[in-house]
Amino acid sequence: MGNTVARLGGDEFAVIQAGAEQPLDATSLASRIIERRWFSLLVGDHQIIIGASVGIAVSPDDGLNAIDLLRSADLALYRAKSDGGGYIQVL
């Protein structure tokens, strides 16, 4: 099965990964996302660092419907960002 990616708004995206061994496959995908999205740019005299943090929620433990899973993933993402960015947090 493939992954489905959706932009939720601003700088937030969701990936739905069905039929996978969870949370192992989700953390593997999250690691690849972080590795490929972490770089720096020099704009004039300013260095800008681009990165990603990932929050993971897995059904049924973290929710049985889309609303609960998104809420759980958002909480995990908040925790990953509070660690300083570039982290993965499984709820």
Query: What is the percent of the chain with per-residue pLDDT over 90, rounded to a whole number?
Result: 62
Homologous superfamily assigned to 3-90: Reverse transcriptase/Diguanylate cyclase domain (3.30.70.270)
- Per-residue pLDDT at 39: 82
Check pLDDT > 80 for residue 1.
Answer: no
- Write out the two tokens for 72: 């759980």
- Write out the two tokens for 91: 């709820």
Helix (H) or strand (E) holding 36: helix 24-36
Largest CA distance in the chain: 48
What tens digit of pLDDT does each residue of 78-89 get? 999 998 888 899
pLDDT tier at 69 (50, 70, 90 boundaries)?
A: very high
Check pLDDT > 90 for residue 54.
Answer: yes
Signed CA dihedral, 14, 15, 16, 20: sign only = negative
What tens digit of pLDDT does each residue of 22-46 get? 899 999 999 998 888 778 889 999 9
What single-letter DSSP state applies at residue 65?
S
| In the chain, domain spans | 3-90
